[in-house]
């Protein structure tokens, strides 16, 4: 999602729930954008419509409630293997002869990327020689899905690595700041301190 798309989501929420009045809209938009930027705009929109339609509390949804709805509606596609993902595509193809747009945007994000476009679903749905061509379609889809899943997993690993490095850097900075704080607050040692200490030690021995 882009920042403007995030703003549209928040405007929809505010229009539906008059009590939703953030004190600082800029901070609210930035916070929602930061947490939702990796989600698909259409999927968040579907989740919001579903929430509004079934909500009886009268309270605006939180970020977590919307992302949970996305997972409930579209599933955690990164956990699917290739055959499971193809089964999802087959179900979408059944209704894509005249409704490919809606079926495409119901698909989980990784499957969307592997299918590429609603037009592809429609072409598959209208193929009069489906039985002959479907093995080729399946193989092509599975290769692309495997590629997209690999990209996703690599991004996830990189994100985790960056988070660990960022956390380690923060801990190092905190440690250095603490050391500087102790150093700055410490009183300087008197120049004759060691001489006085030696004299006292010597007198105790006498």
How far CA 27 is from CA of 23, 30, 134, in Å, comes to 9, 5, 50
Write out the chain's pLDDT in tens, 206 residues: 899 999 999 999 999 998 898 889 999 999 999 999 888 888 898 889 888 988 888 899 999 999 988 877 666 555 678 888 999 999 999 989 888 998 998 888 888 889 999 999 999 999 999 999 999 999 999 999 988 887 766 664 555 445 545 555 655 665 566 556 545 555 555 556 556 655 665 555 55
Number of C-alpha atoms within 13 angstroms, CB side, residue 100? 16
């Amino acid at each position: 999602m882009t920042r403007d798309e995030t703003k549209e989501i928040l405007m929809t929420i505010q229009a539906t729930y008059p009590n939703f009045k953030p004190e600082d809209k800029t901070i609210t938009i930035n916070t929602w954008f930061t947490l939702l930027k990796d989600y698909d705009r259409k999927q968040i929109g579907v989740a919001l419509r579903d929430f509004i339609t079934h909500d009886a509390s009268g309270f605006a949804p939180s970020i977590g409630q919307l992302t949970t709805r996305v997972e409930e509606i579209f599933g955690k596609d990164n956990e699917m293997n290739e055959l499971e993902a193809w089964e999802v595509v087959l179900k979408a193809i059944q209704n894509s002869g005249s409704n490919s747009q809606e079926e495409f945007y119901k698909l989980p994000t990784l499957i969307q990327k592997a299918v590429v476009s609603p037009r592809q679903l429609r072409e598959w749905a209208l193929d009069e020689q489906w039985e002959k061509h479907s093995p080729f379609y399946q193989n092509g889809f599975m290769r692309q899905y495997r590629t997209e899943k690999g990209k996703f997993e690599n991004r996830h690993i990189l994100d985790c690595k960056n988070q660990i490095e960022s956390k380690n850097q923060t801990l190092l900075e905190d440690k250095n700041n603490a050391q500087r704080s102790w150093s700055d607050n410490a009183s300087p040692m008197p120049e004759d301190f060691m001489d006085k200490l030696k004299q006292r030690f010597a007198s105790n021995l006498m």
